Amino acid sequence: MSKFISVKEAADKIQDGMTVMVGGFLGVGNPIALIDALVEKGVKDLTIICNDTAYPEVGVGKLITNHQVKNLIATHIGTNNNTIDQMNAGELHVTLQPQGTLAEQIRAAGAGLGGVLTTTGLGTVVENGKQKITVDGVEYLLEKPVRADVAIIGANISDEMGNLVYKGTSQNFSPMMATAADVVIVEPQEIVKNGDIAPENVKTPGIFVDFIIKK
């Protein structure tokens, strides 16, 4: 069965109030056409999980600018003034996590783990409301798994089965996110025939990918 869908069909799978993971770094690796379609659709009250919110008019930043996001889980927001303004105005609830911690939380969800233990954040606001566990005399924060209804990611190359290749920082978070969502949608820049990608170059196996956007 073909995994190919249009940009519109992909956007139709994301509804108000859903939790959505978005791969990439500062817009690089974001699924740009799909995000534009979501902006046009006007889907709202989203919970977005991402590394960052890029820039006001770049990638996932457009969803922030258009006030379509209710909750944000990210590692930094400093490049998007709209994110900061909405947070300070109480319009957007922001949870900031250390980058490595968020990556491990997503990985834990994909691996079926109950969480990860880390000393990062102890003694800071990061620990507020979180359980602490002592192991061999050392205190850790328990960081629980982070999952999503949908993961939307960009890739440089996909074959017809959804085996993915990323280049450079565009893979940021995406391989982990593809394991930690109920539905995974990829927007590749190039689609090749099955067998054209060397197995050792596959960063996300096609078994994790539900839909491939074909423009």
Q: 3-class DSSP state for residue 211?
A: strand
The pLDDT of residue 182 is 98
How sure is the predictor about 169, in pLDDT bands with cuts at 50, 70 and 90?
confident
The pLDDT of residue 213 is 98
How sure is the predictor about 57, in pLDDT bands with cuts at 50, 70 and 90?
very high
Q: How far is CA 212 from CA 75, 129, 156, 174, 193, in A?
A: 27, 39, 12, 14, 13
Name the DSSP class of 17.
T
Mean pLDDT estimate for the chain = 96
User: Would you list the domain boundaries of the chain?
Assistant: 4-97+149-213
168 has a pLDDT exceeding 90: no
Q: What confidence tens digit (pLDDT) does each residue in 5-35 have? A: 999 999 999 999 999 999 999 999 999 999 9
C-alpha span between 90 and 179 (Å, rounded)? 32
Rounded average pLDDT over 100-124: 96
CATH number of 4-97+149-213: 3.40.1080.10
1 has a pLDDT exceeding 90: no
170 has a pLDDT exceeding 90: no
Rounded average pLDDT over 163-184: 94
Strands annotated E in 28-111: 46-50, 69-74, 93-96
